[in-house]
Amino acid sequence: MSTIEFPSTPTWTGAEQDWAVETHGLTKSFGGNVAVNGVDLLVPRGCAFGYLGPNGAGKTTLIRVLLGLTHADAGTMSLLGYPVPHHWDLALARVGAIVDEPRFHDHLTGRQNLQVLAAAREPAARDRVGPSLERVGMLHRADDRVAKYSMGMRQRLGVAACLIGDPQLLILDEPMNGLDPAGMQDMRDMILGLVAEGRTVVLSSHLLDEVERTCDAVAIVDRGRVIRQGTISQLLAGSAFTVEVECSDPEGAAQRLASLPIGASCTVESSGLSIALPTGTGRDVVAEINRVLVDSGISVYRLQHVQASLESWFLEVTSRLGETS
Ligand SMILES: Nc1ncnc2c1ncn2[C@@H]1O[C@H](COP(=O)(O)OP(=O)(O)O)[C@@H](O)[C@H]1O
Ligand SMILES: [Mg+2]
């Protein structure tokens, strides 16, 4: 994964910044229901960016607003540096998107569907039909009717349809939905391949694990609001973690550590001792644990820092929010 440095609390920086997607204060309500609530989003170019949140969090609505499928009530946005809605024509020419399920003419073949799409675009698009089908591994089924395609094949054809326009930015709404594990793996590889070509992929997902595995950076959205954003490593840097210890006396070690003011929560397991440490704990505490155990006459055979997964971090953040709301 590439490392991308950008502020965890984005500030409006104006046109000089070259983000793939930039929004400021984007808001969209349905009646009294605020589906997108003051969203400030900065998506660096050339990365896979996850818009992660539970069902109903406002992911699809944000994507629909970005694509001009529905109007924002407030806020500003730009795609690939072009302010929209003012420059939809320039921006959308370089954007490919799948919102909800990709829709096709079922009675036509995959290739014919792409030819229909290409006919509505610039002449070069026609030459991209074959390469796009090949790119998503669908060349061998290109001349079958779409009605016979599986969900995974429809998703691939959806990505091929995006590629007809040679997009710099792809926006995929829940691309893993309805896919089996092998299909998810294929989709992930496809996304990583597109990023390796220098494109930016924004995907929405409620699947934490998928975002963690696929994306370089992430925004976590809950009830229309972005509650955190940054690279995955930045987000995890401030999270709780666990230290696993193999030692000669796990029970004694647990007692000794309980007397230290580090907020350790120890669990004695068959393999040794698992020490959960709270958010904000520095790495020096790991060294201190080692020192205290050795000073207490306990032999330490292995000591391992286990980083929280994005999933446990996400649960930690959302449960904290629950306590304060
Ligand atoms: N066209 C619509 N009319 C009324 N409410 C809508 C409409 N689209 C979405 N919503 C509401 O907006 C909220 C966010 O929905 P959505 O963007 O689909 O979330 P997600 O994609 O994260 O599951 C939900 O409460 C949903 O019921
Ligand atoms: Mg949705």
Identify the band that residue 50 occupies on the pLDDT scale cut at 50, 70 and 90: very high
Q: Is the pLDDT of residue 6 over 50?
A: no
133-144 confidence digits (pLDDT tens) = 999 999 999 999
Tell me the two tokens of residue 32. 């009294």
Q: Is the pLDDT of residue 114 over 80?
A: yes
Q: Is the pLDDT of residue 130 over 60?
A: yes
DSSP assignment of 160-176, as one string? HHHHTT--SEEEEESTT
Q: Which of 73-77, 191-195, 234-238 has the lowest mean pLDDT?
A: 234-238
How much is the pLDDT for 8? 41
Measure 295 CA to ligand 1 centroid, in angstroms.
Answer: 58
Alpha helices per DSSP H over the chain: 59-66, 88-92, 110-119, 129-135, 151-163, 181-196, 208-214, 232-237, 250-258, 284-295, 310-324
How much is the pLDDT for 253? 95
- Whether the CB of 69 sits within 6 Å of ligand 1: no
- Whether the CB of 30 sits within 6 Å of ligand 1: yes
Q: Is the pLDDT of residue 304 over 80?
A: yes
How much is the pLDDT for 228? 84
Give the Å distances, CA to CA, from 173 to 8, 66, 165, 181, 282.
23, 12, 18, 18, 37
Q: What's the average model confidence in pLDDT over 25-34?
A: 96
Question: Which of the ligands is closest to the CA of residue 221?
Answer: 1
Tell me the two tokens of residue 53. 């949140």
How much is the pLDDT for 320? 53
Q: Is the pLDDT of residue 266 over 80?
A: yes
Which protein residue has the closest C-alpha to ligand 1 atom 2?
Answer: 30
Identify the band that residue 293 occupies on the pLDDT scale cut at 50, 70 and 90: very high
Question: Which of the ligands is closest to the CA of residue 56?
Answer: 1
200-235 confidence digits (pLDDT tens) = 999 999 888 889 889 999 999 988 999 888 888 777
Whole-prediction pTM value? Answer: 0.77
Q: How far apart are CA 36 and CA 28, in angstroms?
A: 5
Measure 212 CA to ligand 2 centroid, in angstroms.
Answer: 18
Identify the band that residue 55 occupies on the pLDDT scale cut at 50, 70 and 90: confident
Contact present, 135 and 163 (Cβ < 8 Å): yes
Identify the band that residue 100 occupies on the pLDDT scale cut at 50, 70 and 90: confident
155-181 confidence digits (pLDDT tens) = 999 999 999 999 999 999 999 988 889
Q: What's the average model confidence in pLDDT over 280-297?
A: 90
- Whether the CB of 28 sits within 6 Å of ligand 1: no
Q: What's the average model confidence in pLDDT over 3-21?
A: 52
Question: Which of the ligands is closest to the CA of residue 51?
Answer: 1
Q: What are the structural domains of the chain?
A: 21-234 (3.40.50.300), 240-307 (3.30.70.920)
How much is the pLDDT for 316? 65
Which protein residue has the closest C-alpha to ligand 1 atom 14?
Answer: 58
Residue to mutate, 27, 29, 33, ligand 1, most ligand atoms under 8 Å from C-beta: 33
- Whether the CB of 205 sits within 6 Å of ligand 1: no
Identify the DSSP state of 298.
P
Measure 96 CA to ligand 1 centroid, in angstroms.
Answer: 22
Q: Is the pLDDT of residue 193 over 80?
A: yes
Measure 109 CA to ligand 1 centroid, in angstroms.
Answer: 32
- Whether the CB of 133 sits within 6 Å of ligand 1: no
> Could you report how far apart the first and last alpha carbons of the chain are, in Å?
35
Q: Is the pLDDT of residue 17 over 70?
A: no
Q: What's the average model confidence in pLDDT over 39-55?
A: 94
Contact present, 203 and 293 (Cβ < 8 Å): no
Which protein residue has the closest C-alpha to ligand 1 atom 6?
Answer: 30
**Which has the closest alpha carbon to 74: 37, 100, 30?**
37
Q: How far apart are CA 159 and CA 318, in angstroms?
A: 32
Measure 186 CA to ligand 1 centroid, in angstroms.
Answer: 28
Identify the band that residue 305 occupies on the pLDDT scale cut at 50, 70 and 90: confident
Which protein residue has the closest C-alpha to ligand 1 atom 4?
Answer: 30
Q: Is the pLDDT of residue 10 over 90?
A: no
